[in-house]
Amino acid sequence: MRIRLSEPTYGEEEIAEVLESLRSTQVSMGAKCKGFEQAFARYAGVKHAVFVNSGSSANLLAWFAIANPLFRPPEGCKGLYPGAEVIVPAVTWSTTIWPIVQAGGIPVLVDCDPLSLQMRPEAVEAAIGPDTVAISPVHALGNSCDLDALRRIGQRHNLVMMEDTCEALGTRWQGRMVGTFGLLGTYSFFFSHHITTIEGGMVVTDDDYLADLLRCLRAHGWTRDLADKNRFGDSSALDTRFAFVNTGFNLRPTELNGAFGLHQLPKLDGFNAQRRQATQALSAGLAPLVAQGDISVMAVTPGADPAFFGFPLLTRDAVTRRALAEHLERSGIEVRPIICGNMARQPAMAHVRHRVAGRLDGADRIMDCGLYFGMHPGYDNADVAFVVDRISEFFQ
Ligand SMILES: Cc1ncc(COP(=O)(O)O)c(C=O)c1O
């Protein structure tokens, strides 16, 4: 038996839709991408969803929109100016952080709770300085940050909130989808995520103006995809196919990605129900080890209805973590570090202007003692029993 970190979740429907796109020769961003955006916005309960070619691109687009001269911040807030600070959790993926730096900001790393794996609200508040303009909660591994606490802090200090939800599609906070609480939220549809478009990402917002700014920056700075073509400047005298009103990238998805999205999204609730079932069974199976103090498993933040992305656990110390990881790999269970561990300890940070606010003891513990194994909709009882037995035999 082999438990891999991820398993494919697509089938004949996605393949047939892709083939239809290829045969039609409409392969660059078009009706299928638009249809997926509309369906996604409806599903998430937001006004706008802007589809891009990865979750990293979604973060890039979001931060460059916030840094753009045409950005209109919510009342009392500021955009991202050169040297402005953004608070991020120390335990996150690299491309939560790089786009902030690329857009001219300074990431400020704060500690995470080793039980819930989420950024600590009290560490966020303590990290705020005169140049702090934004906060980027990351809902790690399908759990949720304490969004009530973070929203209160954001409101008290006039901070823009950009939720990196790339690991938590379908996770809810007080009944509402995470990623829809901030000014913007981003999602990823990479192969191993809750649904996949092979590669792909989404930015969501309720702000009409900001949505057009995102669409403009997504594709060349031109006006083609804007709801209001003259929003950023009068281009009526120009050929409307080639009117440029801003800087921009090309972060567009293809119709093949849109084709996947159209068929994957209706399956999301079912996939997440299966994830929740497997999570409960694994938690029950591992409960004796938790009671003995051999491991801790991710504690769901009160108020969250999670959709576990992987199944993380922490051992007592780093030596045990290493031995357990070797045992599981030898037994056919793939394991990996919890996201990137403490990003402050990644070599790249030596070249990146940043600030570490306070101690990162929780993030260090997550890095040194944490691992996770795969959690996907295909899990059955035999998979759960196999994983529980292999972990239990290690501690015997
Ligand atoms: C928290 C977080 N942000 C951003 C990303 C980037 O997403 P993508 O792999 O689609 O570029 C990931 C990837 O897994 C992630 O975990």
179 lines ligand 1 (CB under 6 A): no
Angle at 246 between CA 243 and CA 250, to 5 degrees: 85
**Ligand 1 near 136 CB (within 6 A):** no
Confidence of residue 236 (pLDDT cuts 50, 70, 90): confident
- β pairing state of 201-205 and 48-52: antiparallel
User: For the domain 269-395, what is the CATH code?
Assistant: 3.90.1150.10
SS3 state at 66: helix
Instruction: Tell whether the model's pLDDT for residue 172 goes beyond 90.
Output: yes
Using the mean position of ligand 1's atoms as its centre, give its distance from the Cα of residue 201 in Å: 9
Indicate the helix (H) or strand (E) that contains 274.
helix 268-292
For ligand 1, pick from 54, 188, 193 the residue to mutate: most ligand atoms within 8 Å of CB.
188
What distance in angstroms lies between residue 166's CA and the mean position of ligand 1's atoms? 5
190 CB less than 6 Å from ligand 1? yes
Ligand 1 center from residue 81 Cα (angstroms): 24
Q: Which residues pair with 371 in a beta bridge?
A: 313
- Fold agreement (12-267, 269-395): no
From CA 162, how far away is CA 140, in angstroms rounded?
Answer: 14
The rounded distance, in Å, linking the Cα atoms of 349 and 88 is 14
Tens of pLDDT along 344-366?
A: 999 999 999 999 999 999 999 99
CA distance 230 to 17: 35
Distance in angstroms (rounded) separating the CA atoms of residues 328 and 85: 40
> Is residue 8 over pLDDT 90?
yes
54 lines ligand 1 (CB under 6 A): yes
- Contacts of 301 by beta carbon, 8 Å cutoff, 6+ apart: 116, 118, 143, 144, 145, 146
Compute CA 225 distance to the chain's CA centroid, rounded to the nearest angstrom: 25
Please give the average per-residue pLDDT across 66-70, as a whole number: 98
198 backbone φψ class: left, alpha, beta (φ>0; ψ -120 to 50): left
C-beta of residue 90 within 8 angstroms of C-beta of residue 360:
yes
Average pLDDT over residues 7-12: 96
**Which residue, 154, 163, 83, 84, is CA-closest to 125?**
154
**pTM of the entire structure?**
0.98
The residue whose CA is least distant from atom 10 of ligand 1 is: 55
**What is the model's pLDDT at position 231?**
94
Q: Tokens for 297?
A: 């498993």
* Residue 241 DSSP label: G
User: Crossing angle, helix 381-395 and helix 318-330, to 10 degrees?
Assistant: 130
For the domain covering 12-267, report its CATH number.
3.40.640.10
Question: Whole-angstrom Cα distance, residue 209 to residue 172?
Answer: 26
61, 166, 192, best to mutate for ligand 1 pocket (most atoms within 8 Å of CB): 166
Q: Name the residue of 167, 260, 308 to mutate for ligand 1: max ligand atoms within 8 A of Cβ.
A: 167
Q: What is the pLDDT of residue 375?
A: 87
Long-range contacts of 129-133 (CB under 8 A, 24+ apart): 129/85, 131/83, 131/84, 131/85, 131/106, 132/84, 132/85, 132/86, 132/87, 132/108, 132/157, 132/159, 133/77, 133/78, 133/79, 133/80, 133/81, 133/84, 133/85, 133/86, 133/105, 133/159, 133/160
- With beta carbons less than 8 A apart as the criterion, state whether 88 and 97 touch: yes
Nearest atom, ligand 1, residue 95 CA: 4
Q: What is the Å distance from ligand 1's center to 381 Cα? A: 29
Q: How far is the CA of 141 from the centre of ligand 1 (A)?
A: 11
**Which ligand 1 atom is at minimum distance from the Cα of 339?**
16
Of the candidates 187, 237, 184, which has an alpha carbon nearest to the alpha carbon of residue 214? Answer: 184
pLDDT at residue 21 is higher than 90: yes
Q: State the distance from the centre of ligand 1 to the C-alpha of 394, rounded, in angstroms.
A: 32
Q: How far apart are CA 254 and CA 241, in angstroms?
A: 19
Instruction: Return the ∠ at Cα 36 (arms to 34 and 42), rounded to 5°.
Output: 105
Choose the catalytic residue: 48, 139, 193, 194: 193
72-116 pLDDT, tens digit per residue, is 999 999 999 999 999 999 999 999 999 999 999 999 999 999 999
Residue 293 CA to residue 183 CA, distance in Å, equals 40
What mean pLDDT, rounded, does the chain reach?
A: 97
Sheet bearing 304-305, strands edge to edge = 176-177, 172-173, 304-305
Tokens (6 digits) for 241: 């196919």
**Could you give the C-alpha distances from 175 to 164, 178, 193, 253, 274, in angstroms and in order?**
18, 9, 21, 30, 19
327 is catalytic: no
* Alpha-carbon span 64 to 62, nearest angstrom: 6
Which pair of tokens denotes residue 290? 């938790």
Q: Is the CB of 89 under 6 A from ligand 1?
A: no
List, for residues 296-341, the tens digit of each pLDDT value. Answer: 999 999 999 999 999 999 999 999 999 999 999 999 999 999 999 9
Q: Where are the domains of the chain?
A: 12-267, 269-395
138 Cβ inside 6 Å of ligand 1: yes
Q: Which three-class secondary structure state does DSSP give residue 177?
A: strand
Instruction: Give 295-340 as a DSSP string.
Output: EEEPPPPTTEE---SEEEEEESSHHHHHHHHHHHHHTTB-EE-STT
